[in-house]
């Protein structure tokens, strides 16, 4: 069964069981600078897991594009991918353990026709906070998995990051039929006999910064099934590179290569797909954060093309070929093909120049090391190659290995971190410095956004929450949760309220406090669990209280006249207002 068929079966199955199919959120989380990429299907749904009403109801299903960057170095082996697709279904305070497990079992055994004998499951084994999850084990037993294939593990617990919604989970594994590696071999073992395919998380807690758990308003289920992995298993393949998503590019690479190396071929195919998907969702190469991940993916791909002695002029054709394959699953790629291609090719040109300079510099350093009888390249040299010649550390590492020397990556990482800190401070200073001239309007729009958010709550109701915002010095754009088109009367009332508050000349106060305190005071925030312990809060009289980095004006009377230019739909259950200050 092709991956797209599995995806369709999945969405249909859950649709037939009362779930609404919602679209995949973009890979780059909207308005959440604290995470680089969506790493799980639940990430865009956090507010709803915490209790907010989702416009589509309490049962949802989707396919979510995900990137997990901590696996980049593993790519090239037989299972790690940076980009992957996660199929998910959610209960937002609706069904819980029993129904969730029954549906998973039915989907696997009836829809995908996996023989029940090949399934093993794991349940939470208990810790100092919570007991062993016998209830889940019982449900599995009643459903058709015998005790001997139900395992209890202490780490069957799922949370994204350090704090946030979380809970115990139960994981499903497919037995590949390989012999047990030892007597103790069980699904926890990574010998390859058992492959995890699905994870059902029973999200009923919120983990606080001090490590304690609080009950969420509702008991949720969050499940995630790794699409490429299931496709690989159902097709009886050994690696994801052997399924239809990767085969055309892998075969093309085999034809183009002058050196045969499977590891490099996989890296090229994987990084090409990830780069295409990130660029399609708006990512661009740069030296910081998301942009750096993308830059690293493209550059690593090119390094490996060089290694296989594939002519770099072939890159354009490879992109065409891959987009052709991928657009069956991601039709949005068709319209973006030219942009994607030019971004990758431009980055390639830059990198080719860098490689030439960097390799020359590396050769000098190598000489120095050899002459001094050492066998390790210091972190500061790795950093100099990176900072001055744009030479990525992983390329330096590859070169070092090829030349039989080591590199001090820990020291490099330390220096890199310091560099990141400095550029962050630099850009916020740049912003501050610019306020007097160019940033003044943006600052006003920031404050107007808070007033608009508050006014919409008063006019439309407390279900209104910010879903996004975008500000230029000419206008503001504000996305918020609301189901229907606003009437003229509602728009007028909103405008009037904002203008009234502007006229009243209310002081805008900037406070810093503990996150818990801000939450207790009722502060608004888009992704509360993403903030650190101490948060920056802006208070506008009794009208608005929001966790926000600013900047803001000092008094609302600085804003001028507020006018709504347009009100339209942004996505399902989300409206968008464009407004200006005159
Ligand atoms: N959030 C869980 C995971 O990523 C289940 O979807 O595994």
In tens, the pLDDT along 133-176 reads 999 999 999 999 999 999 999 989 999 888 889 999 999 999 99
Q: Is the CB of 167 under 6 A from ligand 1?
A: no
Which range, 251-260, 378-387, 421-430, is most confident?
A: 251-260
- In the chain, the largest separation of any two C-alpha atoms, in whole Å, equals 80
Q: What percent of the chain has pLDDT over 90?
A: 66
Q: Which residue has the higher pLDDT, 255 or 351?
A: 255
Ligand 1 in reach of 199 Cβ (< 6 A): yes
- Whether ligand 1 lies within 6 angstroms of the CB of 64 is answered as no
Say if residue 71 is exposed, middle or buried (CB neighbours under 10 Å; 0-12, 13-18, 19+). Answer: middle
203 C-beta closer than 6 A to ligand 1: no
Task: Specify which of 32-36, 112-116, 544-548 reaches the highest per-range mean pLDDT.
Answer: 112-116
The pLDDT confidence band at residue 438, using thresholds 50, 70 and 90, is low
Indicate whether 31 pLDDT > 70: no
Residue 373's pLDDT is: 87
Ligand 1 contacts CB of residue 164 (under 6 A): no
Mutate which of 14, 37, 90, 224 for ligand 1? The one with the most ligand atoms within 8 Å of its CB, which is 224
- For 570, the 3-state DSSP assignment is strand
Which residues share a beta bridge with 293? none
* Ligand 1 lined by 158 (C-beta under 6 Å): yes
Q: What is the model's pLDDT at position 34?
A: 66
Mean pLDDT of 559-579: 90
pLDDT higher than threshold 70 for residue 437: no
Q: How far is the CA of 480 from the centre of ligand 1 (A)?
A: 26
Residue having the nearest C-alpha atom to atom 2 of ligand 1: 224
**Distance between Cα 91 and ligand 1 center (Å):** 13
**pLDDT recorded at residue 81:** 95
- Give me the sign of the Cα torsion angle 263, 84, 315, 303: negative
Question: CA 203, CA 159: separation in Å to the nearest integer?
Answer: 9
* CA–centroid distance, residue 150 to ligand 1 (Å): 20
Give residue 57's pLDDT band: very low, low, confident or very high (50, 70, 90): very high
Q: Is the CB of 198 under 6 A from ligand 1?
A: no
Q: Kindly give the distance from the C-alpha atom of residue 203 to the centroid of ligand 1, in angstroms, as a whole number.
A: 10
State phi, psi for 468 to the nearest 5 degrees. Answer: 175, 160
Is residue 498 predicted with pLDDT exceeding 70?
yes
CA distance 342 to 320: 11
What is the rounded CA–CA span in Å between residue 130 and residue 150?
Answer: 19
* Interval 334-345: pLDDT, tens: 999 999 999 999
Collapse the DSSP code of 195 into the 3-class scheme (helix H, G, I; strand E, B; otherwise coil) and give the result: strand
State the Cα–Cα distance between residues 507 and 555, nearest whole angstrom: 4
| Ligand 1 close to Cβ of residue 220 (< 6 A) | no
Tokens at residue 523, please? 């502060």
What's the pLDDT at 70? 77
| pLDDT at residue 209 tops 80 | yes
Q: How far apart are CA 24 and CA 63, in angstroms?
A: 6
CA–CA distances in Å: residue 258 to residues 253, 303, 319: 10, 14, 20
Q: What are phi and psi of 244, to 5 degrees?
A: -60, -20
**Residues sharing a CB contact under 8 Å with residue 473, sequence separation 6 or more, in sequence order:** 438, 439, 440, 441, 442, 445
Span from the CA of 244 to the centroid of ligand 1 (angstroms) = 25
Evaluate: CB of 42 within 6 angstroms of ligand 1.
Answer: yes
Distance 268 CA to ligand 1 centre (A): 27
pLDDT tens digits for range 84-131: 999 999 999 999 999 999 999 999 999 999 999 999 999 999 988 899
The length of the chain in residues reads: 582
pLDDT at residue 433 tops 70: no
The CB of 224 under 6 Å from ligand 1? The reply is: yes
* CA neighbor of 450 nearest in space, from 560, 515, 561, 525: 525
pTM of the entire structure? 0.70
Q: What is the pLDDT of residues 180-204, one digit of tens each?
A: 989 888 998 878 899 999 999 999 9
- Closest atom of ligand 1 to CA, residue 39: 4
Pocket lining: 264 vs ligand 1, CB cutoff 6 Å? no
Q: How far is the CA of 168 from the centre of ligand 1 (A)?
A: 11
């Amino acid at each position: 069964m092709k991956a797209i068929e599995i995806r369709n079966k999945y969405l249909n199955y859950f649709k037939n069981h009362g779930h609404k199919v919602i679209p995949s959120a973009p890979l780059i989380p909207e308005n959440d600078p604290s995470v680089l990429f969506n790493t799980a299907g639940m990430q865009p749904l956090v507010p709803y897991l915490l209790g907010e009403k989702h416009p589509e109801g309490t049962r949802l299903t989707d396919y979510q594009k995900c990137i997990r960057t901590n696996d980049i170095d593993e790519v090239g082996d037989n299972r790690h991918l940076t980009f992957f697709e996660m199929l998910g279904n959610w209960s937002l305070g609706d069904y819980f353990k029993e129904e969730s497990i029954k549906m998973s079992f039915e989907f696997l055994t009836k829809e995908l026709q996996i023989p029940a004998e090949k399934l093993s499951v794991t349940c939470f084994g208990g810790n100092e906070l919570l007991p062993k999850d016998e209830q889940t084990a019982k449900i599995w037993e009643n459903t058709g998995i015998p005790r001997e294939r139900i395992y209890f593990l202490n780490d069957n617990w799922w949370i994204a990051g350090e704090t946030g919604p979380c809970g115990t989970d139960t994981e499903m594994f497919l037995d590949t039929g390989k012999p047990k590696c030892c007597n103790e071999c069980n699904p926890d073992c990574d010998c390859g006999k058992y492959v995890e395919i699905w994870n059902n998380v029973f999200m009923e807690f919120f983990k606080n910064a001090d490590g304690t758990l609080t009950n969420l308003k509702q008991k949720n289920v969050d499940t995630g099934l790794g699409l490429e992995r299931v496709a690989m298993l159902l097709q009886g393949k050994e690696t994801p590179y052997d399924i239809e998503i990767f085969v055309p590019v892998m075969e093309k690479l085999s034809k183009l290569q002058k050196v045969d190396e499977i590891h490099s071929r996989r890296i090229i195919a994987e990084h090409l797909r990830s780069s295409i998907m990130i660029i399609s969702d708006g990512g661009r190469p740069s030296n910081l954060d998301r942009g750096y991940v993308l830059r690293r993916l493209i550059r690593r791909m090119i390094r490996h093309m060089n290694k296989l002695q594939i002519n770099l002029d072939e890159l354009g054709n490879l992109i065409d070929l891959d987009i052709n394959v991928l657009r069956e699953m991601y039709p949005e790629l068709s319209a973006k093909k030219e942009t994607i291609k030019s971004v990758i090719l431009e980055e390639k040109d830059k990198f080719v120049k860098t490689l030439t300079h960097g390799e020359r510099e590396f050769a000098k350093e190598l000489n120095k090391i050899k002459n001094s009888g050492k066998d390790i390249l210091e972190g500061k040299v790795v950093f100099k190659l990176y900072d001055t010649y744009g030479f990525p550390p992983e390329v330096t590492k590859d070169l070092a290995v090829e030349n039989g020397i080591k590199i001090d990556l820990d020291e490099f990482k330390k220096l890199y971190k310091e560099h990141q800190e400095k550029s962050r401070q630099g850009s916020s200073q740049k912003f501050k410095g610019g306020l007097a001239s160019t940033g003044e309007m943006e600052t006003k729009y920031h404050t107007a956004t808070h007033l608009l958010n508050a006014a919409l709550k008063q006019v439309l109701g407390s279900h209104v929450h910010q879903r996004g915002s975008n500000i230029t010095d000419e206008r503001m754009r504000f996305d918020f949760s609301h189901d229907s088109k606003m009437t003229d009367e509602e728009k007028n009332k909103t405008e009037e309220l904002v203008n009234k508050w502007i006229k009243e000349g209310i002081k805008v106060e900037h406070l810093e406090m503990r996150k818990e305190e801000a939450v207790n005071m009722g502060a608004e925030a888009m992704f509360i669990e993403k903030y650190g312990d101490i948060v920056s809060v802006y208070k506008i009289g009794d009208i608005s209280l929001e966790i926000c980095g600013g900047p803001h004006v000092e008094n609302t009377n600085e804003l001028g006249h507020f006018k709504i230019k347009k009100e339209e739909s942004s996505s399902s259950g989300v409206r968008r207002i464009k407004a200006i200050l005159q």
